[in-house]
Structure 1
Amino acid sequence: MVYLILVINPGSTSTKVAIFNNNKLIQEQTLKHEIEDLKRFPTIIDQLSFRKQVILDFLTEHRYIPANIDVFVGRGGLLKPLRQSGTYLITDNMIEDLKNCKYGSHASNLGALLANELARPLNRPAYIVNPVSIDEIEDIARVSGFKGIERISMFHVLNQKAIARKHAKSIGKKYEELTLIVAHLGSGFTVGLHHKGRVIDVNNGMGGDGPFSPERTGQLPTYPLIELCFSGKYTEEQVKKMLAGHGGLVSYLGTASGIEIENRIKEGDKEAEFYLKAMAYNVVKEIGSLYFAAKGLIDGVIVTGGFARNQRFIDYIKDYLALIIPIVVYPGEDEMRALAEGALNVLTKKEKIIANE
C-alpha cells in the first residue's frame, strides 16, 4: 500500500515541508517567513495559525488535497523526558505541554501542534518521531557533581539516530549491533555515545553542556558565569540568550556562518582561524571523553550536521582523531526523511506506535 505522508519541520524563521509516497520524496520546500511577519506574534506558539495557513497555501499551490494525506508528521519539540525512542502518537497531554511551553520554548514545539491542527479535522493520525527529549542515558551519566542537579538528555536525537542507522546499513550491520560516537554539528553541537541501539550518554545541546558551537557556549567556567549572573547587568532571559543564541562563534567573531568564517580565513583572518580551531578542539575533547567512557570499544565515529560541510573544520577534527578512531562524515542532515520513515514504520507495522508513557 502507498501512503501519502506530509512532514512538517518548523525552524525559527522558516517551516520545512515535504510530501512522501512511502519513503519516496516527491515534493520538498522551505517556506521562509519574513521577520516582520513573525514580529506580529508575542510568542512562538502564537504563530500557529499563521504557519498553518502557510502550509495550506503550499498544499494548494502544488495541488495536494489535505483529505488525501494519510498521515501528518511533525518534528518533536521540548517535552518531558521520554524513555523510549521511536514514533509517538500526538496526544492531548502532549499538545497541552507544548502550547504552555512547559519544558521550554522553541520553534520545534510547533511541529506537533501543526501536525495535529491539520490532521484532527480530517480524522487522520498525527505523529512525532524521536523528539529532542528522548532520554536513554544511563544513571551514572546523569550525575552532575551536585545533588539536586542532574545531567539531562536534550540533543539532536532524530538526525543522530537516522545517520547512525544509515551508517550501520552501509557497512552491512544493524544499528543495534554497534557502538558508535555520533557528533551532530549544527548551530548547536551534540555528541552522543550510541550503544546497541540506545544513546547512553550525550551532552545537553540546549543547556550549556558539552563543546561550544556556532551559536552556543557549551560548558563554561562556573565561577565567572556566577559572577556574570549576579552582576546586575543582565536579566535571566538575557543570560539564557547569551548561552544559546549569542554564544560560541557568534560571541567571538560576530557570525555563526561557516561560509563567512571560511572566507575570512582565506583572506588572512587569524582570529577566525584560531576560534574555528578552538571549536574543533572542544569537539575532539567531547568525542575523546566518550571514547574512554566506552573503554575504547568503538566501531566508529560519525560526524554529521550542517557544519560538517566545512571541510577545514572537519580536517581539524581528523587531525586529532583519524589515526586513533575511524571517522565517517555525513554532511548535512536528513530529518525530513527520518520523520517520514518513522511514520511509515508504524503504518507498515515494522514498529509499534508509542501512545504515551
Structure 2
Amino acid sequence: MPRILIINPGSTSTKLGIYENDEIIWKENFEHSAHTEDLLTPEERVKIRAKEIEGLLSKEGFKIEEFDAIACRGGILPPLESGTYEVDEEMVDYLLHKTGVDHPSNLAAPIGRLLSRGNIPVYITDPVSVDEFWDEARLSGIPQIERRSLFHALNMKAVARKVAEEMGKPLEEMNFVIAHLGGGISVGLQVKGKMVDVNNANDEGPFSPNRTGELPVGDVVELAFSGKYTEKELLKRYTKQGGLLAYLGTDDLRKAMKLAANDPKAELVIEGMAYQIAKEIGGMCAVAGGNIDAIILTGSMAYNSDFVEKIKSYVARFALVVVEPGENELLALAEGAKRVLTGKENPKRFKVGETI
C-alpha cells in the first residue's frame, strides 16, 4: 500500500499527515517559526516552510524518499475540471506568480514540489476552482458579471464519493444536493458526478457563522457610496464579520445555540440560518426536477445534531438526508493521490489556457 505525505498550509501553520494502509497514521498541525510572512516573497515562504517541514519529519523518523507521493491542497487556480492533478513547474509558477488571490493554499503545491526534489510524484485534488457549471448557472442577471464556481470542492467531492459507495451505486449515476456547513456555507447540486451549480460562499447563499451570504443589492450600493467604509472595510464586514458574529457577537455555533436556549433573539438568528440553508437546498432540488438520491450535510456545523435537525425539518421530505460531519481534508487529499497511484484514476495535467 502506498505511503503518502499530505500538506495543507494555513496562514501561520501547516497541517501535515501521513497516509498508509487506508488511514492517516500520523498528523500534526505544525506552527511555523516566528517571522512576518507579509514581508516575505512567496518563494521565501515556500523555502522556509519546506525546510521546517522536512526538519519536523526527520525528527519524527520519516524521510522524504520513503514516500510514494506527496498530496497537497490545491491553490487558487483558474477554472478546471474535478480530479487529481500532477504538480509540475507550470502549476508552481502559476501559484507563485500569476494567481489573482493571495491565499495560504497557494503554497502547498510549491512546497510539495520542492520537497520531492523531482523524485516523488506530487498531486493536488479538487481545488476550490473546480468548475462544472451548467451554462444557465453562470448567468447572474447582467452580462458584465458571471457567476463563478468557487466552493468547498475537496470535501464536497469526497463525501459524494463516500455516500455513493455506501449506497452501492456508481457516483456517475447519482444526484446529490451537498451542503458544506462551515465558516462559509456552500450548497451545491451534483448531477452524475458533476457539480453543476453551487453558491459562492463569499458572495451568495445563506448567511453563515461569519459571512453575510446574499444581501439586497440596493442597500449594498448605498452603503458602498455612503463614505462610511473603505472597500476593504466593507468586504471585511461582509466576508469576516457578518452572519452569527454580526447578530450575536460569536461565530461559534455551539455558543450561539447555548445563547438561543434563553434568548429569543439568538433563537431567531439560529432559526434564520437554518431556514436560509434549507431554502438553498430546496432550490437545488427544484432545478434537478426533484430527482435527488440524497441530501448530504457536511462540514463542522454538521456535528451539531440540534442544528442538523432544524435543517432536516424543512428538507427531509425532498430526499434521504445523510449527515457526514467534518471536513477531513487530509484524508481526501491522500485518497485522491492513492486513486492515481493504484490506477483507479488517471492524473490530469494543468495547462494555462487549456482550462475550462
Matched, 1:118 2:112: no
Cα 1:264–1:288 change in 2 (3 A) is same
What TM-score, normalized by structure 2, do the two folds share? 0.92
Consecutive unaligned residues in structure 1, runs of 5 or more: none
Q: CA deviation at 1:127?
A: 1.1
Counterpart check, 1:228 vs 2:226: no
Deviation at 1:318, TM superposition (A): 1.1
Determine which of 144, 151, 173 is the counterpart of 2:169. Answer: 173
CA distance in 2, matches of 1:178, 1:67: 40
User: How far did residue 91 of structure 1 move?
Assistant: 2.6
User: Aligned-pair RMSD on alpha carbons?
Assistant: 1.9
Contact persistence 1:97–1:103 (CA under 8 A): no
Q: Distance in 2 between matches of 1:33 and 1:67?
A: 23
Give 1:22 shift. Answer: 5.2
Counterpart residue identity of residue 20, structure 1: Y
Aligned counterpart, 2:200: 204
Structure 2, unmatched stretches of 5+, are none
Q: Distance in 1 between matches of 2:310 and 2:78?
A: 36
Q: Tell me how many residue pairs correspond in the alignment.
A: 350
Q: Could you tell me whether the CA contact under 8 Å between 1:67 and 1:122 is conserved in 2? A: no
Match of 1:217 among 209, 212, 215: 212
How far off its partner does 1:275 sit? 1.2
Is 1:183–1:302's contact at 8 Å kept on the other side of the alignment? yes
Does residue 100 in structure 1 map to residue 97 in structure 2? yes
C-alpha distance 11-40 of structure 1, shift in aligned 2 (>3 A)? closer
| SS state at 1:170 partner | helix
Q: Please report how far the alpha carbon of residue 47 of structure 1 lies from its aligned counterpart in structure 2 after TM superposition.
A: 3.7
CA contact (8 A) 1:216 1:244 kept: yes
Tell me by how many angstroms 1:13 deviates.
Answer: 4.3
| Residue pair 2:340, 2:347 contacting (<8 A) in 1 also | yes
Change in 2 beyond 3 A, CA 1:43/1:287: farther
What's 2:301 paired with?
307
The alpha-carbon deviation at position 330 of structure 1 amounts to: 0.8
- 1:305 and 1:332 in contact (8 A); partners too: yes
1:70-81 residue pairs with structure 2 within 5 A?
A: 70-81=68-79
The alpha carbon displacement at 1:44 in A equals 8.8
Matched, 1:284 2:284: no
User: What residue is the counterpart of 1:31 in the other structure?
Assistant: 30
Tell me which residue corresponds to 1:321.
315
Q: How does 1:24-103 map to 2 (within 5 A)?
A: 24-32=23-31, 37=34, 39-42=36-39, 45=42, 47-82=45-80, 84-100=81-97, 102-103=99-100
CA contact (8 A) 1:22 1:344 kept: no
Give the CA deviation at 1:300.
1.2
The answer to whether structure 1 residue 191 and structure 2 residue 187 are counterparts is yes
Tell me which moved more, 324-333 or 6-15: 6-15
* Structure 2 counterpart of 1:235, one-letter code: T
- Give the structure-1-normalised TM-score: 0.92
State the Cα distance separating 1:128 from its structure 2 match.
0.5
CA-CA distance at 1:228 after TM superposition: 1.6
1:12 matched to 2:5 = no
